[in-house]
Structure 1
Amino acid sequence: MSKKRWIWIGAAILSIAAFILKDSFLQPNAEDLKGGFKEIVFARSEQNAGPIIRLYVVSVKDEKNAQMQSYGDLMPHTKYGTTKVFFFNAEKPIPQRINLQPPHFDTTIYKASSRYEKRPMGGTLLLNFNMY
């Protein structure tokens, strides 16, 4: 093969590698979203063979502009598992512990403003309780 052809092949490989690296390092994360999210506590079920349950307690500084659906979509999820994210106003009491058994935290003391849930097979739900 000619030298010119090797240059084109090398340029193509470099372009593809640059695109993959750019895409890998520029993935969106929670800091990119509006709302001032801060993860307070996380719990995960112990089993690895069956459905995995993930629970998150997250404080939100700006509930009116918070991108809660997008935040929840960023959370890890397994095919038959469930991921729940409880959003709390940062200026109100927030639980520092969470249980895998419902109701997950003391609902007489702590009031979540929203709950995001990713169900088995990836269906999502965002419930707003007492917003604003």
Structure 2
Amino acid sequence: MRKFLVIILLCSSCKSYALTWVGIDDTEVQITNYLDIDSVKKGGEFVFYTRLENVATMGLNSIVIRNKVDCKREKIIELNISYYGQPMGQGTLIEKKKNATKEILPKPNTSRYNAMKLACSLAK
């Protein structure tokens, strides 16, 4: 019984992430990219989703990006960008940029484009 209580206590004190990351292909770069399919939500004429990039540059290991997309026009706005010190959005949050307003037209067959297309198809 004591072991059971210790296990429950340890599990409840750990960070838990209810994210379902799916790998996204990119023909141009060698960065591992993922789409959190649980984050895909339709809101009016827009679709919202979270994308993750595992990188190993500039002292960073991963970037988590919250996106708003107009699926008809294929335009993305990166609402929040969080930079982490470990892969898969883990570790220390190094920097966070909020409320970006610049529209992005992603190139076909890039991870950004492929994530957008997948999110749009899941939101229907």
TM interval, short-chain normalised: 0.3 to 0.5
**Which has the larger strand fraction?**
2
Please give the TM-score of this superposition, normalised by the length of structure 1. 0.34
Greater Cα radius of gyration, structure 1 or 2: 1
Please give the TM-score of this superposition, normalised by the length of structure 2. 0.36
